[in-house]
Homo-oligomer: A and B are copies of this chain.
Amino acid sequence: MTPRVHRLTVQYDGTPFAGWQRQRDPNTVQGHLERALAQCWGRPLPLAGSGRTDAGVHADAQVATFTAPAKFKSLAALQAALNYHLPPQIRVTRATYAAAAFHARFSATGKEYRYRIYNHPCHNPFELHRAWHLPRPLTVTAMRRAARLFVGEHDFASFTSNPGYARKTTVRRVTRVTISVRGPVMELRFRGNGFLYRMVRNLVGALVKVGQSRLTISELQTILNAKTRSVAPNTAPACGLYLRRVFYRNRK
């Protein structure tokens, strides 16, 4: 049996997990998936994700790959077997074969994140751990204007919590930022060719300060130009962030 590249789409509620990445704490999303793979194949199989997510961060559609000989009658049977072994907060929503050269991380050409804010004086129990609760009204028009600053190719050094993580450069191209409001739920979407460590949460933190009239757009421009984290506003909490989509060439 020749080994094949398996591609998984994974949805998870990040609340109970210590983030994506395998580590000493066994309670990570990657750790649970690798244990499920080991249960199915009877030996350890390393799994590669499109990227890490922090503790408490969610995923609508994380992508992960591993290489192994086909083991089940069908990909549907593989998916069912993995879900059987996984905790219910993690679901494999799709399993396909990919080209031999395909890799969840190295083949990725871009990502989309969404960030949910619950903007109402009283929090909603059903939004607990699913959105950032901000009791006072935000000025969405100002936030939308500010968000335009981020679109395009910029050095986002001011918006990463650890510039050392960015191996070569802190320059990234953000292709789209949209902010939608539906009742008390505000959702910010960020699309780009890549995001630095904690970049989305730092961008959200800055946009929220603008929405609270505690930061002007020209001050935000100064922060972006400064290229140093020390001047930037706070990081938004993990619970509002969702990895929504990973993009690949040829939609593969």
Q: For the complex, would chain A's binding face be called helix, strand, loop or mixed by DSSP majority?
A: mixed
* Cβ contact within 8 Å between B12 and A91: no
Q: Which residues of B contact A130 (CB under 8 A)?
A: 126
User: In the bound complex, do residue B126 and residue A88 qualify as a contact, i.e. CB atoms below 8 Å apart?
Assistant: no
Q: Does A122 contact B (CB under 8 A)?
A: yes
Among B12, B125, B126, B128, the residue within 8 A (CB) of A125 is B12
Q: Which of A83, A92, A125 has the most CB of B within 10 A?
A: A125
User: Bound complex: CA of A28 vs CA of B86, how far in Å?
Assistant: 30
Select one of B79, B92, B125 contacting A88, CB under 8 A. Answer: B125
Interface size class of chain A, counting residues whose CB lies under 8 Å from the partner chain: 10 to 19
The answer to whether B93 touches A128, judged by C-beta atoms less than 8 angstroms apart, is no
- Which residues does chain B contribute within 8 Å of A112, judged by CB atoms? none
Count of this chain's copies in the oligomeric assembly: 2
Q: Which residues of B contact A90 (CB under 8 A)?
A: 125
CB distance from A13 to the nearest CB of B (A): 4
Q: Is A222 an interface residue (CB 8 A)?
A: no
Residue of B nearest to A87 (CB): B125
Are B79 and A128 interface neighbours, CB within 8 A?
A: no
Interface residues of A, Cβ cutoff 8 Å to B:
11-13, 58, 79, 83, 88-93, 122-126, 128, 130
